[in-house]
Structure 1
């Protein structure tokens, strides 16, 4: 039996906006990020990714502004910080039409669309793509987004995951249980399009939703899309252990990733799943040079183009503090927050010999999970991430398409030579390519809805 580790999986972490993670770099001459409204922009990128045998193009998304910065939202608009931001699901079918193997992962919050209509949209896209759709399941952490959808305030953190579990159950019932296998006949001679005995209403009644059904779309190639999740809090890990097939993480280093992976995998048996039913994709950004000296020079140029104020504004929304009301040299130890304290603690631990400041927070966050070097040095680092239990890499960009063209042209060939990246796509749906089967395995909680709505005796 072979003990050779499988190759890493690769995903491109993008957003239908100009400025996503590394704020300010949209201003550089080589960045085409500002053309995000163009369908050709995304189709061309997808073709680059498919040439590099990437598994997914992974679209992040938000449905609201981050929290106030310096008392308002002007900085977000001025910096293009995830505003304007377009709906990624609208362009998914065009990307699918112009590619053959690339998976298309769409982020959609449980806040933004009723599960009945969302299930219909995803099934339609899965049909249109021949089974290449994935869903990144997120709760909403933005107060502005909550108000955009008529709520007075942001739902309490752990309760958002209770909401997400019910939402997931509704769509599982529709995708897995509403239509039995063989229900769609399309028999022209007998004039029977589908067998009504095999199409079922689901009659879901829960805390937030009442959905009668049936699902309006016949089963798509995957039925349920590949399921991603992107939260690493204890509640987020528990949700991933129950629902996700892949979790997107951003750990500051391999050892921190190992601890997170081990903790989350240990939770899966409580939900009847195998610890290795869940894969982990680490977010990393890369600065690539033909020599280490060239790579360091390019990193220096990148640092000069990053908008530090916008980086801090982005973190303000994530952490829940208006850092814009404090001078850049304010010590982090003087700041009280009920938000994501782990980010502040990580920055304080990373600065030696003095107290870390707000400026350090912005600068170090820009360097977080960055790999700098030659393609060979980058391959060395990716081996360490794989050894720590990471299954895939979500590649963060500085520029589109440049960051991905450079990675595909220079890093992927080295990774392929080392067995760290696939050289060809496997046939079939994206779930079959990555997990070996078109459908969710029997251990996943969605599987219990298969046949659950068939009348007794039928």
Structure 2
């Protein structure tokens, strides 16, 4: 029997994350994002429902301008204010026992030595339940916030990411040998000096002597997520990721992406089955199909098309805020919009698509509407395509997750599509059956690599 799907709750420490405007629903609690109790309550709800992860997205800057400036982001709460999710993580760990805690952190925002120390500390505090979503930051504003003139070129960002992960792998996997921490009260020997090593990393961007200041945590290296969709990004994921977040438009499209990424993993010397793929989906659930469709229409009335456009345009190099919603895409003459136009014409083949179509399609992309049984049918198709997990996008918090837990998960469990209970151990052991990375992962080459380096 195929393995059950894994489920993560896709959230952000902000009001308006993906389905912009849905925060205005009377029952929506996204506006409580400053409240620690809000996040602790959600984490408890997710753990009771046997979700595998609470997955925090994050940004360290605004998206590209809309209508010439950044007013729209503030007006609509489009990922501003946005608080640091890492600060929440230890509190969530202290109120849960099994829920994995996945944190997005960019190579841009923190030096790898300090980041490795924080993650190891958190992995200890959570008994091995930490995951890291590796990102490179896509907005010019983010880069200017850290002293750069603008964003570094795409391939250069991934070269930077290669060195960044190399440094943290050396610290996590190579600086402390197994059995180094003794804490022997009789002899007074706290740790075996011969088993603790400086890494002496010298590279294009970083010079890190070491040693790692934290002894090996339950997982050593956190579970590694990545979401790169370009060819360079997918190669990076194939080398490093244990879970890749995807937003494929259909199961067939997902199957092609998964097969290709697993091929790349094999080329990188890894077991292709060591990568799981998490598809981003949102759900509108009804006791009948008619009720589900009514609720979907009500959600559409809340969603703000212009904010969806402002978010979507952030990565295509054109400010769509200067165009009326009914402007045909063909009239927007830029290199970025040509590729966008191809995508839209495939989605709207019977007429010339407009900017409004972009908003509607983006807001409904990955949306599954129906009864719990119909949703289970759809999720079975995704699993058959090779998808191993679902990153559940919310319209409201906690409502979207409560509804999914109470109405959909029981049906999924009946069909073997969701786990009945947690297994023991770390986040990685729950996913893969082992606490540590396999020997085929590039981080493993640093195990014992520094033992001969003189002090």
Fold shared, TM-score > 0.5 on shorter chain: yes
Alignment counterpart, residue 379 of structure 2, candidates 353, 359, 382: 382
Alignment of 1:50-61 (within 5 A): 50-61=47-58
User: Which residue matches 2:22?
Assistant: 25
Distance 2:220 2:267 in 1: 25
1:368 aligns with 2:365: yes
- TM-score norm. by structure 1 comes to 0.98
Alignment counterpart, residue 256 of structure 1, candidates 237, 253, 256: 253
User: Which residue matches 1:13?
Assistant: 10
Alignment counterpart, residue 316 of structure 2, candidates 315, 319, 327: 319
Deviations 1:79-101 (A, max 9, x none): 00000000000010010000000
User: Which residue matches 1:188?
Assistant: 185
User: Which residue matches 1:224?
Assistant: 221
Following superposition, the deviation at residue 344 of structure 1 comes to 4.3
Following superposition, the deviation at residue 334 of structure 1 comes to 3.1
Paired residues in the alignment total 455
User: Which residue matches 1:128?
Assistant: 125
Following superposition, the deviation at residue 348 of structure 1 comes to 1.9
Contact 2:8 2:390 (8 Å CA) reproduced: yes
Higher deviation after alignment, 290-299 or 248-257: 248-257
Alignment of 1:27-176 (within 5 A): 27-176=24-173
What secondary structure, in the 3-state scheme, does the structure 2 residue paired with 1:282 have? strand
Deviations 1:158-196 (A, max 9, x none): 111111011000000000000000000011111111111
Following superposition, the deviation at residue 318 of structure 1 comes to 2.3
Alignment of 1:306-345 (within 5 A): 306-339=303-336, 343-345=340-342
What secondary structure, in the 3-state scheme, does the structure 2 residue paired with 1:318 have? coil
User: Which residue matches 1:346?
Assistant: 343
Deviations 1:296-333 (A, max 9, x none): 00000000000111000101112221000112122223
Deviations 1:422-443 (A, max 9, x none): 0110000010001110000000
Contact 2:197 2:453 (8 Å CA) reproduced: no
Contact 2:329 2:337 (8 Å CA) reproduced: no
Q: Which runs of 5+ in 2 are unaligned?
A: none
Structure-2 change in CA distance of 1:342 and 1:101 (3 Å): farther
What secondary structure, in the 3-state scheme, does the structure 1 residue paired with 2:413 have? helix
Structure-2 change in CA distance of 1:457 and 1:327 (3 Å): closer
Distance 2:339 2:129 in 1: 35
RMSD: 1.3
Distance 2:338 2:281 in 1: 21
- TM-score norm. by structure 2 comes to 0.98
Following superposition, the deviation at residue 112 of structure 1 comes to 0.3
Following superposition, the deviation at residue 259 of structure 1 comes to 1.1
Q: Which runs of 5+ in 1 are unaligned?
A: none
Contact 1:344 1:361 (8 Å CA) reproduced: no
Contact 2:318 2:337 (8 Å CA) reproduced: no
User: Which residue matches 1:237?
Assistant: 234
